[in-house]
A = this chain, B = another copy of it.
Amino acid sequence: MGGDFGPQVVIKGATDAARQKKVDLLLVGDAQRIEKELSALNVRGLDIEIQHASQVVDMDEKPSDALRRKKDSSIHVACRVVKEGRADGVISAGHSGATVASGIFVLGRINGVDRPALASIMPTEKKPVVFIDVGANVDCKPHHLMQFGIMADVLAKSVLNITHPRVGLLTIGEEEGKGNAVVRAAFDLFKNSSLNFLGNVEGRDIFSGEVDVVVCDGFVGNVALKLAEGLSRSLGRMLKTELKGDIISKAGAMLAMRAFKRFAQLMDPNEYGGAPLLGLERIALVCHGKSNATGIQRAVEMAATFVRNKALDQLVAGFEANAELASLRRQTRPAKQVAG
């Protein structure tokens, strides 16, 4: 029921994915509204089930309030049907915080995961990069970053088909020992892990495409993600203004329209429409509120790929392989407290 453009766009995108990738759908929300939207589309031959939910989480609600008070909200019900095994994953373009909260609360975490994290897949000059955490966890400990790395590594393998993802730790200098206290401690964990750890990476390395996974805490990641979004948009507007600044440039820009369109498509955030919430016993995808039908379609397709490639099994295996590094115990009981 969520998203800035409402259920129409969500249902269109979902049915497009269903047709393209042979995905069965379970649409959760106001049944009457869903029926109406579906009747306007060609859904012949698609396996579509509808699950009514009487409530919707409003965009200005606190996630914790929504979780407590709106047990029959579309996102809550959607998570529940997934938990019950009636669907393999949940996708929402509604309230991000409520989606994350419901996902964690209802779906439950994989053994070994303390903090589920949001990953974002972003275009670079070469292959796309997985950026984690982009906002689920603001204050993190070193072993949380280790967990994020394990999860994003699996995502890069299962969804982006990268055999040995190169994993980097986002910090402020490439040498070992650079960064804040949390990152410096996380460096040692990563170094000893089973990941293909590249070492520290800086902000300037993300978009050149030299790394497949970039790990940071959810505060830094969310600031960085929004900064990248805002900067791209501002640069676009500034360039447009200059291109309109003299008549010859304006003519040139019109002539180069095809190149600008190709460029815009490269940068279209809808190409990777959903941010996977990783670490849960099922997959959950948080879509941008501004996602168009293509964004939703891509998110559904990503979820299908994730499920078909058995990424959850890989996640479990990843946590088993790095159990000690990713575990809470090692980090949260410093020697002095044990001694006391």
Contact = CB atoms under 8 A, between A and B. Distances in A.
A237 interface: yes
A317 interface: no
Given A172-B219, A249-B256, A258-B249, A204 B179 contact: no
A255 interface: yes
Contacts of A206: 227, 230-231
A256 B252 contact: yes
B226 A203 contact: yes
Given A204-B230, A207-B231, A219-B220, A259 B243 contact: yes
Contacts of A234: 124-125, 207-208
Interface residues of A, number: 63
A63 B255 CA distance: 52
A339 interface: no
Q: How many copies does the complex hold?
A: 2
A321 interface: no
Given A207-B230, A243-B256, A223 B170 contact: yes
Contacts of A205: 230
Contact of A253 (B228, B248, B252): B252
Most chain B Cβ neighbours within 10 Å, of A135, A232, A239: A239
Given A220-B223, A224-B227, 4 more contacts: A124-B234, A242-B262, A252-B252, A252-B255
Interface of A: 124-125, 135, 138-139, 170-172, 179-181, 183, 202-208, 216-220, 222-235, 237-239, 242-246, 248-260, 262-263, 266-267
21 contacts: A135-B172, A138-B181, A139-B181, A203-B222, A203-B224, A203-B225, A207-B227, A207-B234, A228-B231, A231-B232, A232-B235, A239-B260, A239-B263, A242-B260, A246-B259, A248-B258, A249-B256, A249-B258, A251-B252, A252-B255, A252-B257
